[in-house]
Amino acid sequence: MQGFLRIFPAAIVVFLASASSAFAAGAGHQMPLNAEELSNWLPLTNSSLMVWVATGLIVLFCRAAAGKISIVPAGMQNFGEWLIEGLYNFFGSLLGPELVKKTFWFFGGTFLFILVNNWLGLMPGVGTVGWDLLDDESGAVVGFMPWFRGGNADLNMTSAMAIVFMTVWTFWALQANGIKGFVAHIFAPKGKFQGFMMKLMVVVFFLVGILEVISILIRPIALSFRLFGNIYGGEQALEKLMGLAPANLAFLPALPFCFMEILVGLIQALVFSLLAAIFLNLICDHGDEEHH
């Protein structure tokens, strides 16, 4: 772990320099709102290609960290154990010891997946390496097709992750509460009431339950647009900043904000997985009901 701490500041400096040079190289290219298809016959976009690259890097990291397990961890195994243990303890503090055992594979994997995709979007060549689009008749350049685009700068990717979360959220919620308990958790009165007050609370909690259902349905929309908006907006802001200086110095205005985008990538990965864990805990936590 000490070796990692020694090289981490140098790695950040190299990353910042390469990221700023990458943005400077593509200062004239405006990222479209939608991901672009790389082929007419293959369902592959530049954002999905980046997602596969991120997945491959995560697999290689896991192979390097767990390929040869030793009793005294060192090198990549040491860093991997530190990372997984830290994430496990973090989500365990939110979900509890029992729930985190069943769900850590999702929350830990989602955090790493989003983080790697966010940081890969700042690497050299993303949005700048590709080919020119030519007019069929005149042969003039009419556009530019980048091979890579940040995975989370595509609303399709963030929406897919939000839908997958709501699917497993529903499964875990029904597993923990049952169908009757799931409905009661949303609509049933909380507390002890009698007589007229009980009838009134039934109506009140039923109306509150309707609002809760609406809130549950909105959650995947909020999760997907929050992540997409922050990543896409950050890349667009860096493009605009580079337009404030000449081409050979275009990286200077954006250089300080490259570090901010690295931080934003980390925060957004944490926010998505944190909110998902909180949503699950809210439906699975029975509070004092377990003690009665």
Domain count for the chain: 1
Give per-residue pLDDT as tens, 113-161. Answer: 999 999 988 877 776 676 666 666 666 665 667 788 888 988 999 999 9
**Residue numbers of the domain that contains 41:** 2-291
**Helix/strand/coil for 233:** helix
Give per-residue pLDDT as tens, 178-225. Answer: 888 888 888 877 767 666 677 787 787 788 888 988 999 999 999 999
**CB of 152 within 8 A of CB of 158?**
yes
- What type of residue is 46? N
Position 85 scores a pLDDT of 92
**CB of 124 within 8 A of CB of 22?**
yes
In whole angstroms, give the CA distance from residue 233 to residue 264. 11
Task: Indicate yes or no: pTM above 0.85.
Answer: no
**Helix/strand/coil for 134:** strand
CA distances from 239 to 20, 234, 245, 254 (A): 11, 9, 11, 8
CA distances from 192 to 195, 202, 211, 291 (A): 11, 11, 22, 15
Contacts of 125 (CB under 8 A, 6+ apart): 22, 147, 148
Position 8 scores a pLDDT of 46
